[in-house]
Amino acid sequence: MTGPAEPTVEALRQRLADFAAARRWEPFHTPKNLAAALSVEAGELLEIFQWLTPEQAAAVMSEPERAHRVRDEVADVLAYLLQFCTVVGVDPLGALAAKIERNELRFPVPTDATGVGEKAVGAPEHVTGVNSDVGE
């Protein structure tokens, strides 16, 4: 899913930091404001899907205007996440790698997958709703 000249996350993060600095937006970019902005943008991505049927949602990228909106909101969410990481000093890829490792211990792969129903496997996390995220 990546092209030959694909930028790295670190390059994009730095470019966003330079972008904000050049426009003197840094005073607005507090951790709290950026966390709010990230949440707002995630809501805008969800808005695209809120009334769609499962069939419409699955075909979202085949409709050009919607596809553009989806890419645009993905970019906004990632932009604010990286700007948040800049101001708090978190390495997003390192944080995710560490979390995946914790999750591999927390949700072991069923040893005999052929004998286990899909629902049973998914149930502990997804159906209880108590720990409904991928991680902790």
Tokens coding 65 = 């205007």
- Residues 80-119 vs its own copies: string with x where CB under 8 A? xxxxxx--xxxxxxxxxxxxx--xx--x-xx--x--x-x-
Contact 60, 52 (CB under 8 A): yes
Residue 69 lies near its own copies (rule: CB under 8 A): yes
Distance in Å, CB of 64 to its own copies, minimum: 13
Show Cβ contacts of residue 57 under 8 Å, excluding neighbours closer than 6 positions: 49
Nearer residue to its own copies within complex by CB, 22 or 64: 22
Question: What's the CA gap between 41 and 20, in Å, rounded?
Answer: 18
If 0-12 CB within 10 Å is exposed, 13-18 middle and 19+ buried, where does residue 22 land? exposed
Distance in Å, CB of 30 to its own copies, minimum: 6
Binding test (CB under 8 A) with its own copies, winner from 4, 6, 111, 115? 6
Residues binding its own copies: what is the number (CB under 8 A)?
96
Distance in Å, CB of 79 to its own copies, minimum: 5
- Residues 15-54 vs its own copies: string with x where CB under 8 A? xx--x--xxxx-xx-xxxx-xxxxxxxxxxxxxxxxxx-x
Question: What's the CA gap between 67 and 63, in Å, rounded?
Answer: 6
If 0-12 CB within 10 Å is exposed, 13-18 middle and 19+ buried, where does residue 61 land? exposed
Distance in Å, CB of 101 to its own copies, minimum: 10
Distance in Å, CB of 5 to its own copies, minimum: 9
* Closest-CA residue to 18 (of 26, 6, 9, 28): 26
Residue 64 lies near its own copies (rule: CB under 8 A): no
